[in-house]
Structure 1
Amino acid sequence: MKSVISELSVLVTDDSLTQRQYAKGLCSELGVKDLHDAANGVDALNVLESRGVDVVLVDLEMPIMDGVELIRSMAQKKLASSVIILSAKDPILIASVGTMAEADGLHVLGTFQKPLLPDALECSLLRFIQDTKNKAAEPHVQQDNEVTAVELGEALANNELTLAFQPKLTVQGLMLKGVEALARWRHPQKGVISPGVFIPLAERHGMIDMLTRHLLQAAFQHKRTWQNYGLRFNLAFNLSPLSLADSDMVEWLCKMAEDHGIAPSEITFEITENALLGELASAIQTLARLRLKGFHIAIDDYGTGFANAQQLSRVPATELKIDRSLVHRAAARPQQRTILASTVDLAKNLNLTTVAEGVETDEDYRIIADLGVDLVQGYYFSKPLFPEDLLVWIKSGLSQLRRQHEKH
């Protein structure tokens, strides 16, 4: 990925020589060769007027012309399209400036508190590359339910974000083995906001740790409630790649489990290949420590082209989640069935639990049963359920599901 990043041109704007050198050093380590710097907004505009730059890092607090003025000038004069906004100030303030920049038509790759972390910078630059490709393939269309980082911050403060849980069942016998926690946001005016919208938004604006901890706390509380009812099943939770860079995350999770009386072995953290796009050693360190503490690790979306066999040697995983794209209609596609079968065999040889995701038809269910997949998850069995609905489903819906399949 560094070879792709090396093709970018970056301008670092900061009145502190130390901070400029630090940011330029991070860019150099990632392979960026076309590097420029400016000590204030006026100098930055001079640079931008003399050459094209892909990404501009902007510090908000600068003399002569501050970062806010610089961002507006860049947008109005169309001197640059993509920015990373930095400041030592409050994250919500930084996010507000990010919202202003987006309203002015700029592409905000991230809004972060100083110091800028290496993995945050790398993810932002990779996002520029990916978004540029997506934009070339399909022009952006404004959506009615687009939201800002400020709205997300307000949603967290007002407890608008919640969790739904999708059951994970044993393929043989359809026994409840666990649930996957899925974030949900019901905006009071804009309705349901997709996690595909607000999770990347949180990552871009440095709010992902706050969001992750908020949702994890809710997930642990639900699990504790279920245990009080005598229900013991695994809880799976998706971790953002940026969360793996949080040095306090492992200790915090251990304390959360202890405080709620939950065995780490009953918690699974799901990660995608994006988790390894940042600093690899840091991500592996966090995952290895989680395993040492007894938590389980699942490789998510396997078979999409993003997750691949190389991950299986890198990640201390206990579970492999096979993506719907590999499962759906495999019975009617011999080559796909062969790939699916070999994936299941590979996972078994590595002593990984296999989970088939996105199962929506009886045909899909039969093929994964024939291939010996361990667990199944998908709308064919149950959609994601809010906590109160999950309890009802466990009491009545699950037994009804078993009876239906016993008739087949």
Structure 2
Amino acid sequence: MSSVISELSVLVTDDSLTQRQYAKALCQDLGVNSLFDAANGMDALDVLAANAIDVVLIDLEMPIMDGVELIRSIAQKKIKTSVIILSAKDPILIASVGTMAEADGLHVVGTFQKPLLPDALECSLLRFIQDTRVTAEPKKSADIEVTALELSQALANNELTLAFQPKLTVQGLLLRGVEALARWRHPTKGLVSPALFIELAERHGMIDALTHYLLEEAFNYKRTWQQYGLRFHLAFNLSPLSLADSDMVDWLCKLTEQYGIAPAEITFEVTENALLGELASAIRTLARLRLKGFHIAIDDYGTGFANAQQLSRVPATELKIDRSLVHRASTRPQQRTILASTVDLAKNLNLTTVAEGVETEEDFKILCELGVDLVQGYYFSKPLFADDLLVWVKTGLSQMRRQHEKK
């Protein structure tokens, strides 16, 4: 993807020469060739008037014309560019400026507290490429809109929680584990899509706070289940940005000790597209997690661009095959062939195979034929809140087994 990033034109706006040089060096390390800089908002507008700029990095605290004034001017002049907002101030303040910029019609690809990290910059530039090159679907009038400020308040008010979807063995339908899935019920807007608020957290520098909050909740539930004698695995999704957090592994080890949980009973899921960013940084974190005893799953396999060579570099223990490869494979010969080759690839790499999005009996049958290890999907159970999961384990699971034994 660096070759794609190299085609971008980036303007760094900061009154500090040191900060400008630092940000430009980060861009150059990512392969950006067309670089401009400005010491204040007025100079930045001159650069924007004379050049086609894809992304502008904007520091909020500048003389002559500060970052807020620059953002407003870009919006008023309808300059076609995207922005990354930076400041040493409080993250909530930065997020609120991002909300203001989006309300003014600007495309905000990131809001971050200084210092800007290489992985955060890379993810923002890749997001710009994705957002501008993929044709957006028409927006439904019923779609819920939320701001970074609302998400920040939701974290402070404990509005977010978790649902858990069971992962079962193909042979015998035994409960092997559950995947923790984030849920947000907004007090006035109702349920907010995880795809929306997780991207919002990544874009506005809140993904670490969100991850820590949800992990502590997940571990608390697991400790409670252990006290009931239930010792199934817990899977949790990690953002690509979390893989760049050098303190994440040590924090997780302390958390397992605090809650009395064995790392071997925790699986961290990362999407295959996470391998397309800073691969060395991602593998460094994943390798340390494996050394500490945690399991690693490559999630949504089949939806991105990872290949066998990249998979072989990742210290993974599990491959999660996306619904797009699973659903209706029994009636689509080419899709079945791709699914079968994916299962064989995983076996050759000594990875446990998990089929996601299993929704019909026909889907399940073909997965049995192909020798998939674990299954997950609405055919067995929807994601359940913690109390409902306990009821399902006590009664729903045995009922489902009996139904399958009759078939």
Which band: TM-score by shorter chain? over 0.9
Q: Secondary structure at the match of 1:241?
A: coil
- Contact 1:48-1:80 at 8 Å conserved across structures: no
Query: Deviation string for 1:262-282 (max 9, x for gaps)?
Result: 000000000012322332211
Any idea what the Cα deviations from partners look like across 1:49-70, whole Å, max 9, x if unmatched? Answer: 1222111000000011110001
- Distance apart, 1:115 and its partner CA: 0.7
C-alpha separation between the residues in 2 aligned to 1:3 and 1:366?
43
8 Å CA contact 1:166–1:385 kept in 2: the answer is yes
For the 8 Å contact 1:182–1:237, the answer to whether it is kept is yes
SS of the equivalent of 2:27 reads helix
Can you list the C-alpha shifts for 1:22-66, whole angstroms capped at 9, x where unaligned?
101111111111111000011111111122211100000001111
Partners of 2:330 and 2:48 in 1: CA distance: 56
2:153 corresponds to which residue? 154
1:31 partner amino acid? G
Q: Residue in 2 aligned with 1:353?
A: 352
DSSP 3-state at the match of 1:342: helix
- Give 1:224 deviation, angstroms: 0.2
**1:381 aligned counterpart, secondary structure:** coil
Counterpart of 1:382 in structure 2 is: 381
- Cα distance in 2, alignment partners of residues 407 and 51 from structure 1: 70
1:6 matched residue in structure 2: 6
Distance 1:284 1:400 in 2: 42
- Matched to 2:402, the amino acid is R
CA distance in structure 1 between the aligned counterparts of 2:140 and 2:106, rounded to whole angstroms: 15
For residues 163-182 of structure 1, the aligned pairs below 5 Å read 163-182=162-181
Q: Which runs of 5+ in 1 are unaligned?
A: none
Residues 264, 295 of structure 2: 8 Å contact kept: yes
Match of 1:336 in 2: 335
Instruction: Tell whether the 8 Å contact from 1:75 to 1:81 is kept in structure 2 after alignment.
Output: no
Report the Cα offset of residue 307 of structure 1. 4.0
Which stretch shifts more, 267-276 or 56-65? Answer: 267-276
- Provide the C-alpha distance between the structure 2 equivalents of 1:336 and 1:79, rounded to a whole number of angstroms: 45
The whole-number CA distance in structure 2 between the counterparts of 1:371 and 1:255 is 40
Asked if structure 2 preserves the Cα contact closer than 8 Å seen for 1:166 and 1:179, the reply is yes
d(CA) in 2 for partners of 1:370 and 1:278? 35
Q: Name whichever of 20-29 and 298-307 sits farther off.
A: 298-307
Q: Distance in 2 between matches of 1:170 and 1:334?
A: 25
Residue in structure 1 matched with residue 26 of structure 2 by the alignment: 26
- Deviates further, 112-121 or 347-356: 347-356
| Partner Cα separation in structure 2 for residue 234 and residue 193 of structure 1 | 27
Q: Deviation above 4 Å: which 4+ runs of structure 1? A: 139-144
Shift in Å, 1:241: 0.2
Consecutive unaligned residues of structure 2, counting only runs of 5 or more, are none
The CA RMSD measured in Å over matched residues stands at 1.2
Q: Displacement, 1:192?
A: 0.4
Distance 1:306 1:383 in 2: 28
Residue number in structure 1 paired with 2:390: 391
Classify the secondary structure of the residue corresponding to 1:167.
strand
Q: How far is 1:125 from its partner?
A: 0.6
Distance 2:62 2:84 in 1: 15
**CA offset at residue 371 of structure 1?**
1.0
Give the 5 Å matches for 1:8-407. 8-134=8-134, 136=135, 138=137, 144-407=143-406
Cα contact 1:102–1:108 (8 A) shared by 2 = yes
Any conservation in 2 of the 1:55–1:80 contact (CA below 8 Å)? no
Distance (whole Å) between structure 1 residues aligned to residue 281 and residue 142 of structure 2 = 36
Q: Percent identity?
A: 83
Deviation at 1:139, TM superposition (A): 5.2
